[in-house]
A and B are shown apart, each in its own frame.
Chain A
């Protein structure tokens, strides 16, 4: 006998006798911990996969030192870049030493 909506351990085949009881009889599977209700959960439709958005052509960039102030200093001096770089490096080292490094306004727009 098939019991719709119940798992197979509630189904029976080839009964040889029927015993009437006045309590909730627990069979082999129920005594082993299986649900006495044995309800089969309602089937939920598989959700349609949402299309994966195309990845952006971006990423994460970490700089160890914000060199924008260095660059701003150079652009204001109008001196050749190699000289400006050297003086900028010195300024960077100094700023690091005194803890006064800051983001220049020019780059933080």
Chain B
């Protein structure tokens, strides 16, 4: 087949080949890149946050110690937020801290609108729900009423629209790990985080117990920070190590799943 257009000289051909090689290298680098290696976003030390709303019901001091230790050994400065400090304002300001890694050890569940599934997962805060507080945000569905079981103590729940509309700043390439239930059962919450600047989201595609998510996340950090694996490979290795949740059968996934 004849190709139309101007014939190319040897110099242009060389440039084309060089560009193709560079492009291939860039694509390969992107696929194999470990988002948690190198220095922090501002050129200083890398930073990580452990948002531990789950400590209100299922404290995991062993996990917190282990995760903090792994991160600090890898050169991270770690901010730990216990359950009672996991407020709506903490979520609102979360992107502005410039974290490279955020572990959301929080309850989460699929949100409903008058009994009808919305298709997105909501993240629990540790701030007790009150009708008069954040009334506007609650009225238009930027915050939900979240409880661990039907009739349980209600807390404010964060929904994707809150992430996009109310969060201050941008995540600037952070990796966000949704340690609670259903984080990646649908892509909605992950999409919101990525639109807000997160590079990737890791989460479960169903329900999970605290023990299993702690175990898997600790193993994930080890593969990322000690073994230096790329994110998707680290997630795959983690699942090979710990398997699905033994009680609920959910699997840890990375999102986006490609690229």
Contacts and interface: CB of A to CB of B under 8 A. Distances in A.
A109 B188 contact: yes
B186 interface: yes
Interface of A: 53-68, 70-71, 74-75, 81, 84-85, 88-89, 92, 103, 106-109
A60 B188 CA distance: 17
A74 B186 CA distance: 20
Contacts of B113: 62-66
Interface in B201-259: 207-213, 247-248
B93 interface: no
Q: Which of B106, B145, B164, B209 has the most CB of A within 10 A?
A: B164
Contacts of B114: 62
16 contacts: A54-B247, A56-B181, A57-B213, A58-B180, A58-B182, A60-B112, A61-B109, A61-B145, A63-B159, A66-B113, A66-B141, A68-B118, A71-B165, A71-B192, A103-B118, A107-B120
Main secondary structure of the interface of B (DSSP, over half): mixed
A5 to B, nearest CB: 44
B58 interface: yes
B106 to A, nearest CB: 8
Contact of A68 (B58, B143, B188): B188
A60 B149 contact: yes
Given A89-B140, A107-B118, 9 more contacts: A53-B209, A57-B107, A57-B208, A61-B112, A67-B140, A68-B188, A70-B140, A106-B191, A107-B119
Contacts of B147: 59-61
Contacts of A92: 140-141
